[in-house]
Amino acid sequence: MTSTASDSADFIIVGGGIAGLRAASALAPAGRVVILTKAESSESNTGYAQGGIAAAMGPGDSMDLHVADTLAAGAGLCDESAVRVLVNDGPRYVRELIEWGARFDRTASGALLFGLEAAHSVHRILHAGDATGREISRAMWERVVALSTVRVVNHALVTDVLVEGGVVAGIRYVEGEGVLRDLRAPRVLLATGGAGQVFGETTNPAVATGDGIALAYRAGARVADLEFVQFHPTALSLVGAPRFLISEALRGEGAKLVNSQGEAFMRRYDSAGDLAPRDVVARGIVREVEATGGPVFLTLQHLDPDRVRARFPTIAEMCRRAGIDIARDRIPVGPAAHYMMGGIDTDEWGRTSVAGLFAAGETACTGVHGANRLASNSLLEGLVFGARAGEAMQQSAAAAPLKADRVPVPAVAAIAPQPEALAAGGIRDLMWRAAGLFRTRERLAGAVARLDAACAAALLDVRERAGSDAAVWRQCNLATVALLVARAALRREESRGGHFRADFPARDDLHFRVHLVESQSPSPTLE
């Protein structure tokens, strides 16, 4: 349990998903790069991505169409300029991925095949079977480990961003389960991925605990839009089985949602039916379960069985292990936390509000998703903004300025909380119940009080154990992220995109067409 002499690098990247790896490739020619991941290299949300990556490259598509679809999904809160960067730069970086060896599905004549997903107006999704993320991750890791200036440290849980005199000086991490180390560098990129594990039901792997958000917040950086969580409507819903994602691409290929009587029901909730936006479908499923008292299923029984199994081999295999033949049986499904639209507030170059600290990928909030993410735009975001953060890290340490439509969330509780320990499972259950698909003031206020106390208890625990116990840090990060999400959800008294308040079911542009930001440093003023 000792802190060793500190090591140094020119650039530190926390995270080995699509954003971290693309940034590493940009930074390798400029100096010594260290990538830290908290598990195996392959464990990341990127590795589990199924459906594909969106890019306006196919027939009948255009930049304007992709921008329009992204803005429509974002429900009035996208940063249009960031969306244009995403969409315009996307095809260039996807072509580069192909040059690096990523193999996407093609027609017999060799042309790229584009899939359709909900809320996209044209076929736009490049895919590699139903395991697109695994293929992208493979190609990127192969490239990055071959770069002589890049060092990779796996099983390293980063616990702190070191800030000296308001400027980043490096990071602290726990190696294995007990050795605390410092790694010094003037530029740090947080590319730590999603936060699905903050909720009791999630499609995300165990590593997705939102650590980057907690790290940035403790370092004094601004976080934004954390109330916007996307709940995927169709995770496998079987007692004892993990909530494996049943991709939207199945509905894109014609799969139908049916209730326990076999009736297709989604048109009762939205005219777009099974391909309505994810939050609408997720709430439709919960309401249908309440109305009928029975489960909801996805069925592909009306489609060609050989084609179904060939197009979705990974999903077919996962379901087979749970005793389900996807071509012949109905698949029981239900909603689960899937994607975090909010995160560490950044500009279009990944700069945060702390000089020298950058963020990219799912942990960042660039504003491209607004209140709801368009399916398959997140891999693209990691790729494009990972590259841009890498470029910016070579050039400048300046912090991002505050944008005009940012409104601070009150950060300080009125009464100092009495520390109350809450186990990780308790936090996840609480978040699923209070900050899940149907939110209310009463439930959120109760959750905020308990999470405030849990955060205080976790921080005490970290201090008492001198910070070298990885399990205590995990708990501390989980409690911090849960508190920030619940507090933002309580503050937003309207419904928009992924955020649904049962007590404020309408969208309120007059008061809430703004981003809620929070930071530990003195509250920023409105410009």
Ligand X SMILES: Cc1cc2nc3c(=O)[nH]c(=O)nc-3n(C[C@H](O)[C@H](O)[C@H](O)COP(=O)(O)OP(=O)(O)OC[C@H]3O[C@@H](n4cnc5c(N)ncnc54)[C@H](O)[C@@H]3O)c2cc1C
Give the residue numbers annotated as catalytic, written as ranges: 278
Stretch that binds ligand X, among 185-193, 298-306, 310-318, 387-395 (CB under 6 A): 185-193
Q: What is the helix (H) or strand (E) element at residue 480, kind and residue range?
A: helix 470-491
Per CB under 6 A, the list member of 180, 189, 191, 444 interacting with ligand X is 191
Shortest distance (Å) from residue 433 CB to ligand X = 22
157 touches ligand X (CB under 6 A): yes
192 touches ligand X (CB under 6 A): yes
Per CB under 6 A, the list member of 61, 69, 135, 211 interacting with ligand X is 211
Shortest distance (Å) from residue 249 CB to ligand X = 8
For ligand X, the closer CB: 82 or 191: 191
335 touches ligand X (CB under 6 A): no
Q: Which residue has the tokens 């955060």?
A: 455
Show Cβ contacts of residue 33 under 8 Å, excluding neighbours closer than 6 positions.
Answer: 9, 10, 11, 12, 13, 24, 27, 147, 149, 150, 151
For ligand X, the closer CB: 12 or 71: 12
Show Cβ contacts of residue 454 under 8 Å, excluding neighbours closer than 6 positions.
Answer: 420, 421, 422, 426, 427, 479, 482, 483
* Per-residue tokens: 525: 């003023």
**Rule CB under 6 A: which of 25-64 touch ligand X?**
36-39, 43-46, 48-53
427 touches ligand X (CB under 6 A): no
Stretch that binds ligand X, among 104-112, 302-310, 373-381, 506-514 (CB under 6 A): 373-381
For ligand X, the closer CB: 19 or 444: 19
Shortest distance (Å) from residue 75 CB to ligand X = 19
Cα angle at 200 between 237 and 243, to 5 degrees? 30
Shortest distance (Å) from residue 51 CB to ligand X = 3
Give how far Cα 508 sits from Cα of 271, 435, 494, 496, Å: 23, 19, 6, 8
How far apart (Å, rounded) are the C-alpha atoms in residues 56 and 269? Answer: 30
Q: List, in sequence order, every residue forming a beta bridge with 129; answer none if it has no partner.
A: none
Contact letters for ligand X, residues 248-267 (x by CB under 6 A): --------------------
339 touches ligand X (CB under 6 A): yes
Q: Are 494 and 501 in contact (CB under 8 A)?
A: yes
Cα dihedral sign for 147, 148, 153, 159?
negative
Q: Are 484 and 413 in contact (CB under 8 A)?
A: no
How far apart (Å, rounded) are the C-alpha atoms in residues 11 and 186? Answer: 7
Give how far Cα 179 sits from Cα of 40, 182, 488, Å: 18, 10, 35
Amino acid at 486: A
Shortest distance (Å) from residue 419 CB to ligand X = 23
- Quickly list H helices, 146-264: 211-218, 249-252
133 touches ligand X (CB under 6 A): yes
Shortest distance (Å) from residue 224 CB to ligand X = 16
Q: Please tell me the count of residues contacting ligand X according to CB under 6 A.
A: 45
Per CB under 6 A, the list member of 382, 390, 436, 467 interacting with ligand X is 382
Interface with ligand X (CB under 6 A):
14-20, 36-39, 43-46, 48-53, 132-133, 156-158, 191-194, 203-204, 207-208, 211, 245, 339, 361-363, 376-379, 382
